[in-house]
Structures are given as C-alpha cells and as structure tokens.
C-alpha cells in the first residue's frame, strides 16, 4: 500500500535551512542528502492561509478566492468575515484521494473548518475559537474522546495573545503547544490507518515573528550578544528532533515531503499605507483626524474616495469601482489609468532613511486570472520586496513609517520563497525552484491518481 507523508513547517526559510543551519538539523539534512530539494515560490500574496490553500488544491488564489484571512461580503467596506472552508469551492488533495478510496490523516491545516467529511481523520484549524462547538473541530467526532483520554484535551491551534507575552514566556508557551501538536500527530501515525498524512507545524510562524531580529545581523534592530540570539535556531532543532521521531514511525518506502508555505525575512518598519492614501487624496475622511487611532470604514466619505487598502505585510489595494463597490465612484474607463498612476506613485515612496525601496507591484489584470478574479485586490504591493511591511489599520501616524499596526509590531515579514524537500527514491539533488501549485499534482502522481484537468501545477520530477 503506497503511503505519502507530508510535514509542513510554516515559514521555514531556505537561506538557513539549506545553508548555515543544515548541519544542526540532522533529520532535515538526511532528507536533503538522500532526496531532492528546492526553493518553493509562494503565492501572491505569501500569506499562510493563501499559500497552504494553493498547496493543498493545486489552484492559484484567483481560483481559490483566498487572498487574505478576511473576505469582504458583497464588496462591503466594513462587513469583513474570517475565511473558512465555506469560502473554498475547490477540492483539497485529500478529498480527491478520498474519491479514489485512499484514507488520509490531516492535522492543523489551515482553512479546514468547517470540516468537509472525507475518508480519514482530521484535526481542523478552528481550535482557536472560530467554531462555537468544539466537537466539530475533530473528524470523526469519536476521535475527540480518544484524544481527551490520551492527552487530556485536544490541543488548540494557536496562542492568541503571543505578542503580549514576555520573550521567555513566548519561548516556553510556543514550544509546549507545538510539542502537544506533534505528539498528537505521532499518535495518529502509530494508531490510525492512513495512506496520506499531512501535518502542519504552525507555531514556527510565531517564533519567526517574535525572534527574527535577534539572529539576523542585517536587521536594523539586531542586538549583538542577545540571550535570544539562538532562540529561533534552537526551536527549529527541537522541531527537527520531533520530525525524526515521526520519520522513525514510517514504512521505509513511504514518500516523504517536507515543505513550507513561504519564507521569512527581516522587516525594518512599515509604510503607513492608509495614511498615504489620505495624504494623496485617494481616500477622503468625513472629519480631519485629531489623533492616532484605529481605522474604521465609517470614518470615510466613500462618495469622494477612490482607493482603500488592507494588509499588514503586503498591501492589498482596492479601487472604489462604480458598479462593484456599494458607493463606487471610479468609472471602468478610468480604472487602468488610475492603476498606472498608483503604481508610479507607490514606487516613489522611499524608506524612512530616504533611500529608494525595491518595491514590487502586482496588478490584478496581469497576475490574477481565474474563477474568483472578481474579488482579487486591484493591486498588491510589496514595499522593498517585503523588507518593509504595511500598516493599514492604525492611522494618524506622525510620519509615513512606523512599526505598528493596530495589533502590534513584528520584526519579520513573510518572504516569497519557502522550502521543499522530497524523498521518494527517484528524485535527487537541487531542483532549483518549484511552485506551490506543483505539490498537489506531485502527491496525486505518487498514488497513480489521475490529475484533474483544472489543476494548474505540474508534477515535480
């Protein structure tokens, strides 16, 4: 019976995993030396929910409709909801395998709640409170009682307030929760029948955003000799050790894939994008701002506003288009010239040190063609190729640059390339680059399952 084991590490970055840290990650190193490895190009934008959804469907965001953790209902300015599996009309790879009689075990993958019944076992991503009924976070429900008997609880997905913890508390709490996640995965590996396994190590994201500046000498906030200098590396050594324990539970001919959804890079500060839109008269407020505050849609005079934005790492920019947005004022014939004007002006934004930024712009009509292109942002901007983040939620800032959003600050931003490693006895060496869309067809190919024609990726060979 063919088996495929996939282990996702949220935000794992090739620069260190395939470089300076490789010798200290013995299980990753063994997989790299005995198989194929590559940098994996993430989705645009490189957000976890967007990228993991494309990885697990073989479809780009323009087909999945997942561009952010939130979606606008009926193009509303203020009716935002958290995306769930109800927003996704495409099939996950385990659903395709289920139709072929294959049994899967899925742990902590994003966008899996509400759970869509399939042939297998699942711990969904709703354990941080999206679901009001905890029994519906596990499939089948009898698995919940089994976990509670063996572990005392079903470990939650996330630490909601991790930004409010001290650094010492963050290290302790994040590692404790990740260990619980990985022990649950080991339990399923040992005790349940499966042919396809996909587990996500998600706490790495929290470590990346909290401790990046202590190990990156090029970060402007780097502190030489900090006691947290090795906190991130030590965490990944712990994950590598646990990965080794899981690998020891696999049959020797199991195909093994280890991968991330995107990478991580230093973030020096953020561009206050909503403030910039106001300053440039693309957005008009009903009343002048008197102090710094959290942005609200009801502050805006939408009958005079041409552009608005969202996003904390990349900027997702929307045109207030007539006939689309409730109070749209931009005519379709003005659309292209406004997009070109925005692109030019955004690229002229300098850093807080006065230097030109290496800013990338992705326009809807060039990058987002698919079933859900109508809901795609009109532009996506990566300030300084994601070395500068974006703030759209905290307005009235003193300057165009500040590290905070309404939710707090970060030291790291998502980067455009993650990692990919495969051990299947056939592929070896440096594969260069692969795409998020290539993972689902590669998995299906391992099982000899016909790849649906509407899947956009290719088989990795």
Q: Where are the domains of the chain?
A: 4-265+414-446, 269-409
d(CA 210, CA 411): 7
**378 contacts 319 by C-beta, under 8 angstroms:** yes
* Per-residue confidence (pLDDT) for residue 134, from 0 to 100: 57
- 3-34 burial code (b ≥16 CB/10 A, e <16): bbbbbbbbbbbbbbbbeebeeebebbbebbee
* Per-residue confidence (pLDDT) for residue 162, from 0 to 100: 77
* Per-residue confidence (pLDDT) for residue 159, from 0 to 100: 76
Give φ, ψ of 286 to 5 degrees: -65, -40
Strand segments (E) across 305-427: 307-310, 315-319, 360-363, 379-382, 388-391, 394-395, 401-402, 404-405, 408-409, 412-415, 417-423
The pLDDT tens digits along the chain (461 residues) read 899 999 999 999 999 999 999 999 999 999 999 999 999 999 999 999 999 999 999 999 999 999 999 999 999 999 988 999 999 999 999 999 999 999 999 999 999 999 999 999 999 987 445 555 656 789 998 898 898 899 888 887 787 777 788 999 999 999 999 999 999 999 999 999 999 999 999 999 999 999 999 999 999 999 999 999 999 999 999 999 999 999 999 999 999 999 999 999 999 999 999 999 999 999 999 999 999 999 999 999 999 999 999 999 999 999 999 999 999 999 999 999 999 999 999 999 999 999 999 999 999 999 999 999 999 999 999 999 999 999 999 999 999 999 999 988 888 999 999 999 999 999 999 999 999 999 999 999 999 999 999 999 999 99
Query: Strand pairing partners for 365?
Result: none
d(CA 43, CA 64): 12
- Read off the tokens for 410: 């970060």
d(CA 218, CA 128): 34
CATH class given for the domain over 4-265+414-446:
alpha beta
**421 contacts 18 by C-beta, under 8 angstroms:** no
Q: In this structure, how many other beta carbons lie within 10 angstroms of the beta carbon of residue 225?
A: 6
Number of residues that make up the chain: 461
Give φ, ψ of 55 to 5 degrees: -60, -40
* Per-residue confidence (pLDDT) for residue 148, from 0 to 100: 87
The conformation of residue 92, written as its DSSP 8-state character, comes to P
Structure pTM? 0.96
What is the distance in angstroms between the CA of the first residue and the CA of the last residue of the chain? 22
Q: In this structure, how many other beta carbons lie within 10 angstroms of the beta carbon of residue 290?
A: 7
d(CA 366, CA 420): 27
């Amino acid at each position: 019976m063919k088996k495929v084991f996939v282990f996702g590490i949220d935000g794992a970055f090739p620069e260190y995993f395939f470089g300076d840290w490789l010798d200290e990650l013995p299980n990753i190193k063994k997989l790299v030396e005995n198989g194929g490895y590559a940098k994996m190009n993430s989705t645009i934008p490189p957000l976890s929910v967007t990228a993991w959804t494309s990885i697990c469907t073989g479809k780009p965001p323009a087909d999945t409709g997942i561009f952010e953790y939130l979606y606008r209902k009926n193009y509303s300015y203020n009716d935002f909801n958290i995306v769930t599996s109800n927003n996704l009309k495409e099939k996950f790879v385990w659903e395709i395998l289920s139709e072929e009689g294959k049994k899967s075990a899925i742990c902590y993958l994003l966008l899996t709640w509400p759970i869509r019944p399939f042939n297998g076992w699942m711990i969904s991503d709703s354990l941080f409170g999206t679901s009001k009924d905890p029994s519906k976070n596990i499939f089948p429900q009898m698995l919940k009682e089994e976990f509670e008997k063996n572990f005392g609880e079903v470990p939650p997905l996330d630490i909601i307030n991790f930004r409010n913890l001290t650094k010492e508390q963050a290290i302790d709490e994040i590692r404790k929760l990740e260990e619980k996640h990985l022990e649950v995965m080991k339990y399923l590996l040992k005790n349940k029948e499966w042919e396809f396994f996909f587990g996500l190590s998600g706490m790495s994201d929290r470590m990346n955003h909290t401790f990046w500046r202590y190990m990156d000498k090029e970060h402007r906030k780097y502190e030489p000799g900090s006691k947290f200098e090795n906190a991130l590396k030590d965490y990944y050594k712990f994950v590598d050790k646990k990965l080794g324990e899981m690998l020891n539970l696999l049959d020797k001919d199991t195909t093994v894939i280890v991968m991330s959804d995107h990478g991580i890079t230093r973030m020096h500060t953020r561009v206050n994008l909503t403030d910039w839109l106001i300053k440039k008269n693309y957005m008009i407020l009903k009343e002048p701002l008197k102090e710094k505050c959290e942005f609200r849609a009801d502050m805006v005079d939408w009958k005079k506003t041409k552009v608005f934005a969202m996003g904390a790492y990349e900027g997702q920019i929307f045109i207030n288009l007539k006939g689309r947005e409730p109070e749209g004022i931009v005519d379709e014939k003005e659309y292209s010239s406004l997009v070109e004007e925005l692109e030019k002006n955004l690229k002229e934004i300098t850093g807080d040190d006065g230097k030109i930024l290496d800013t990338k712009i992705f326009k809807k009509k060039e990058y987002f063609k698919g079933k859900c292109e109508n809901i795609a942002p009109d532009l996506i901007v990566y300030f300084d190729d994601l070395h500068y983040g974006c703030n759209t939620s905290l307005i009235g800032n003193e300057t165009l640059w500040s590290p905070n959003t309404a939710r707090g600050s970060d030291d790291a931003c998502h980067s455009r390339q993650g990692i990919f490693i495969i051990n299947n006895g056939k592929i070896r060496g440096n594969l260069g680059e692969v795409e998020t869309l290539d993972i689902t067809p590669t998995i299906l190919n391992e099982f000899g399952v016909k790849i649906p024609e509407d899947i956009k990726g290719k088989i990795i060979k």
